[in-house]
Every structure is written in structure tokens, then in C-alpha cells.
Amino acid sequence: MPSCVAGSSSTGAATTRACSAVAARDPRGRSIAVATTRARRPFAWEAMWIRVIGQLHLGIDRHGDDSLVVLRVERLGANVDSSAYGATFEALARIARSARRILRLHVETFSADAGMLARMGDAALAARFSPSAAPRCYGPTSLIDLAREIPAILAGFNSTARQNIRAVGKFPVAIRPVTDAALIPRMDELLRDTMQRTGGHTPPREWHGILPYSAAHPDRSRVIGLFRTDRPEPESLMAYAWGCCHGDHVQYSTAASTRAADLRLPMAYGLAWDLMQWGHTQGAKLFDFGGITEGTQGGSDPLGGISDFKRYFKGTYAVVGAEWELEPRPAAARVARFLRRLKSKRRPD
């Protein structure tokens, strides 16, 4: 099953743009992917053929004045046949070396199988990648087993989680997919509010692409919202969550909510449960909660409350991610880092 590829990520103010990938076949008839780099400003390198099972998608981070770019591959794992790890990293390294404008290539690996994660690491080292000094992806997470029947999955949760899931039916709210682009400003507002409560930062998601992608590919992407039935839109949207299906697992990618004094309802539980049931229907074996910390509510960890919420589902703690990077022109990368540090020092408070 192809991975969910909608959306974007960022570094600073630079937006990541997904590159296209088209299906092809190798001489033995197996599916492979052709990854091509496309952006508003065309690059000088040619398309690279990557012989992998599944699909790979590159992201492009604008760096500084757009004269340099940083490439990023997210969640490389189940979308690549394990026998092709070496060839995949070698092909990605060739892409990184193919144009002088490419400053750095980041590859985020993901697997719930520690042995598979280690094999991807060996392939990265063999292709002269190094562990990222400042990884953006998460390592530890909580995994829910979706291979069981729905009643068994629900029964495995803490009683508090089950109670909060059932509480949705006691309030004037409804859970349904978010499809209307008119709700995007409200979604951005909820995400900003959520990040402010946790002390975090994340750029606005490219919902103008994600929502139609989810409508066209409901087996790969699902944006689900909790709406008040006694309020008009867009104010009726109180919370939402975005789930991405990566074949063998579903990722809890983005979630946001507001707080309503007259609605004493823990909003995230029903949304997470909806995404778990959706993942089960798609044949996913695991639900990845998108990272977890060791902190708890009331402690020094600003994400402690969110991690407590995830622990109520009684998942399995696992380290599933690692990040690797390749700087094809180390001298240029050092100069770019120096200039960025200099610019940040000059920036007014």
C-alpha cells in the first residue's frame, strides 16, 4: 500500500514541498519508483531512478535566500523493500551530489522493528551518511496493536480512556471528516493555540493540499474533526487530528484543540479512537502516536500532559525513528551554518 504523502514540513521559515513520484516496474515486473525533484524554480539535476518496492518522496527546504536547498526524506521504512536499503541510500546520495545548490540531505528512518531500523542505519553509514546532530524526527513513541478486533483494542485501554471516548455521545458534539477549505483558518488558529499551550512551534500545515488529498485517497489520509452541533462553522470546530496510513502502520501526525469552559469534554480521545478504527479498517497493524516523552502533567516537561494522554491507551513503548544526513559539499555547509548563526545573533529580540 502506498504511503500517505500529503502535507509538508519545515525548517525555520522554509517550507518543504513534496516532489513527485510515479510508479514504474523493474525488469522482473516488481513495482519501483521514479523520484523526481520538482519546484517552482527548476534545478539542474536529472530524475534519478530508485529501485525500491513502494514509493519514495523527497521534500525541499528553502535555505536562506533560496540559493541553496535542503532535501528531506520522511519515514523511510515500510515503503522500501529491506533488500533495497543499500541501493536506496546510494541513490539518494547521488541525488544529493547532483547539483551544487543542494546543501544537505536528511533521511528520517522509521520502523517498529529494531533489527530493521539497525539495517537501515548500516545502509546509511555505508553510503557515507552520518547521524543527524539535531534530528527533527522523534525516536520514542507509543504503539497500539491494531491487528486485534475492534472490541479487543478498546478493551485494552485504560478505563479513563474508554470513559472519555464514550463521553462524546453525552455532549452536543459530532465527529466527522474535515473537508471544507473554509475551515483552514480555524485549523491554523487551533494549531497555534495548541503550540502556545505546550511551548512548541510548528508551521501551518498545507491544508489546501492535505484536505483534497484526503478526499481523493481516503485509504491513505484522514483529517477528522470534533464539531459542536450548537455552534455555526467555523467556530464549531473544536479539535481535529490528521492520520496518515503508511501501509503497515498509521501515524498520528497532527492534532490541535481549543478549550471551552462550558464543554468539559476531553476532546482528543474520540479523535484518536476514530483514527485507530480507520487504520484497522485499512489493514494497518500498528497505530503510532507520533512520539512520546517521559514527562507527566505538572512537571517540567511541557509535553507531559500530552504524553499522559497517550499513555492512557496503554500502548507499547518503542524507539522507532532515527535521522541521517549527508552534506555533499561540507565546506559550503559550514559556511551556511556560520552565516545562519550570524544572522540569528543580529536578529532583534
pLDDT bucket at 347, cuts 50 / 70 / 90: low
| Cβ atoms of residues 17 and 34 within 8 Å | no
Helix (H, G, I), strand (E, B) or coil at 244: strand
Identify the residue with better confidence: 296 or 126.
Answer: 126
Which of 1-15, 62-76, 211-225, 233-247 has the least mean pLDDT?
1-15
pLDDT of residue 305: 87
Looking at the chain, how many residues does it have? 349
What separation, in Å, do the N-terminal and C-terminal C-alpha atoms of the chain show? 47
From residue 273, how far is each of 33, 184, 252, 264 by CA, in Å? 33, 23, 11, 19
pLDDT at 4 over 80: no
pLDDT of residue 345: 66
User: Rounded to whole angstroms, how far apart are CA atoms 253 and 258?
Assistant: 18
pLDDT of residue 9: 31
Identify the residue with better confidence: 263 or 255.
Answer: 255
Identify the residue with better confidence: 155 or 44.
Answer: 155
User: Rounded to whole angstroms, how far apart are CA atoms 73 and 323?
Assistant: 10
User: Rounded to whole angstroms, how far apart are CA atoms 23 and 104?
Assistant: 26
pLDDT of residue 311: 96
Residue-wise pLDDT tens digits, 214-236: 999 999 999 999 999 999 999 99
pLDDT at 318 over 80: yes
Residue-wise pLDDT tens digits, 142-190: 999 999 999 999 999 999 999 999 999 999 999 999 999 999 999 999 9
pLDDT of residue 55: 41
pLDDT bucket at 202, cuts 50 / 70 / 90: low
pLDDT of residue 67: 63
Average pLDDT for 298-310 = 87
Query: Which class is 10-139+321-346 in CATH?
Result: alpha beta
CATH of 141-319, one of 3.30.1490.190, 3.30.70.20, 1.10.238.10, 3.40.630.30: 3.40.630.30
User: Rounded to whole angstroms, how far apart are CA atoms 50 and 61?
Assistant: 21
Tell me which residue of 337, 321, 310, 332 sits closest to 161, measured CA to CA: 310
Domain boundaries, the chain: 10-139+321-346, 141-319
Ramachandran angles phi, psi of 225, nearest 5° = -125, 155
Give me the percent of the chain exceeding a pLDDT of 90.
Answer: 54
pLDDT of residue 337: 66
